[in-house]
Amino acid sequence: MPGIKGLFIPGPTNVPQAVRLAMDIAMEDQRAPDLPSFTLPLFEDVKKVFKTREAQVFLFPASGTGGWEAAMTNTLSPGDKVLIARFGQFSLLWAEMCLRHGLDADVVDVPWGEGVPVDIFAEKLKSDRAHAYKAVLVTHNETATGVTSDVAAVRQAMDEAGHPALLFVDAVSSLASIDFRMDEWGVDICVSGSQKGFMMPAGLAILAVSPKALALRKSAQMKRCYFDFDDMIKTNRDGYFPYTPPIHMLRALRAAVDLLLAEGLDNVFARHHRLAEGVRRAVTAWGLSLCARAPKWHSNTVSAIVIPEGYDSGALVKHAYNRYGLSLGVGLNKLAGRAFRIGHLGDLNELMCLMALAGSEMAMRDLGIPVAAGSGVAAASEYYRETGAAAALKKAA
């Protein structure tokens, strides 16, 4: 099929030309005397994306899963008790990792379509007078269900309970796309990855770690080697790495951070909200519903769309790819066959979103799913047109 394929899975996302070009370089000496003049400012600027002054950034050649492992193995010991909610495929996998590492995980099951149950967490934390919980784990944006949770409210619950546990946040599909405030929200470790809001290929686990969490690496009894913070700290302080780093990915990260900071993080967040709202209006116009059960859970980076009974979302995703060259996200685990996902994050604008909606609409109609021709595209395009015109007038004034 001529032309470009439409990539609208919730990661990897589209890579901007500036980021692609930044990677297209000759191999470099990872121990060159001038490398620190590149890496040290990069570490500092990545901190700005987390909105932190206090935390230390770590860049591991890994996926977000590697970031999870680094977070727990450097701060916790086997048998430590942690509190986590399970409400989608990725919060499920994070909870499973806790169990496989020998942690005592208090797993709160929540209906898929909702997020972290702050009220339940608050009661559990208040009742834990012995402070058995060593960490509270929050999936900020559950990629499988299109649900965003309130990290600030979890921190407030912890503070009101006077609980000293660490606060870990998985922000893999939210950082650099949805507002995140590490210092303000008292987050101790935030885990992200390169392939979503950072608009890069997969391959970097990007973490920010508070001084409180860093101090625990001396007492943590989990075995670790590749993900050892100490090894990173010793070499990063001088601008180097304990093993050969993927410098082409670091060059890409530099370009991506430059794009984010040039646009302005608040503008990045506003753009993602506006584009996501257009997708949500299309879903309503189709007569379908989101997996997210209420507006307070709506994600600005991915929408999980439930299709009518009697149809197979897996077949829909395959047909969209084979017939129209459109990549959509499949339904995962409990949502397999029941929902498909549109990723709307990263390097994205109105016309790109309309491409995803038009392709989805055609594919659904091809399979007999009862959506009116042009309904979703019209609803989204009118919203984009009206809000774009209002923004332009405001800017001109």
Alpha-carbon gap, residue 397 to 392, rounded angstroms: 9
Residue 380 gets which letter from DSSP?
H
106, 81 contact by CB (below 8 A):
yes
Helix axes 118-127, 151-160, angle to 10 degrees: 20
> Could you read off the pLDDT tens digit of each residue along the chain, which spans 397 residues?
788 899 999 999 999 999 999 999 999 999 999 999 999 999 999 999 999 999 999 999 999 999 999 999 999 999 999 999 999 999 999 999 999 999 999 999 999 999 999 999 999 999 999 999 999 999 999 999 999 999 999 999 999 999 999 999 999 999 999 999 999 999 999 999 999 999 999 999 999 999 999 999 999 999 999 999 999 999 999 999 999 999 999 999 999 999 999 999 999 999 999 999 999 999 999 999 999 999 999 999 999 999 999 999 999 999 999 999 999 999 999 999 999 999 999 999 999 999 999 999 999 999 999 999 999 999 999 999 999 966 655 665 5
Residue 16 CB burial class (10 angstroms; 0-12, 13-18, ≥19): middle
Those residues whose C-beta lies under 8 Å from the C-beta of residue 162, and which sit 6 or more positions away, are none
Q: What is the pTM of this model?
A: 0.96
Which residue from 250, 291, 222 is spatially nearest to 68, judged by alpha carbons? 222
**SS3 of residue 232 by DSSP:** helix
CA distance 16 to 233: 31
The count of other CB atoms within 10 Å of the CB of residue 117 is 18
Structural domains in the chain plus CATH codes: 6-12+265-396 (3.90.1150.10), 17-262 (3.40.640.10)
**How far is it, in rounded angstroms, from Cα 158 to Cα 169?**
14
Which of 37, 59, 61, 38 has its CA nearest to residue 50?
59
Cα–Cα distance, 265 to 257 (Å, whole number): 10
Residues paired with residue 302 on neighbouring β-strands, in sequence order: 343
